[in-house]
Amino acid sequence: MLPIELNVQLAGCEIDIGTLQGLQPGDVLRTQHSVDAPATVTDAAGVPLFRAYPGRRAGSRSVALAPLEATQREPSDTEEQS
């Protein structure tokens, strides 16, 4: 298997520079992202790939991946363009 880089985009938050500089592993940032809203999973270039829904499975945290909505996909070469 080859490793790939994936990124998850959530709604942002505002913090001051002092807080940013003081962040440590394990710190928690509160964002404006609703826990009911899916996150967007992108590749290293920022191209959206999936929607991610947080959840739990067998007592562990998990993420369910879902396809992007049709309105956000780019048309493929085989699809007609209007």
- pLDDT by position in tens, the chain (length 82): 899 899 988 888 899 999 999 999 999 888 888 878 899 999 999 999 999 988 888 888 888 889 987 444 444 444 444 4
Longest dimension (CA), the chain: 51
How many domains does the structure of the chain reveal? 1
In a domain, 44, yes or no: yes
Q: Decide the pairing of beta strands 6-9 and 48-57.
A: unpaired
Structural domain for 4, as ranges = 1-10+34-61
Tell me how far apart the alpha carbons of residues 51 and 67 are, in angstroms, rounded to a whole number: 6
Structure tokens at 56: 């739990």
Helices (H), the chain: 17-21
In a domain, 56, yes or no: yes
* pTM of the entire predicted model: 0.61
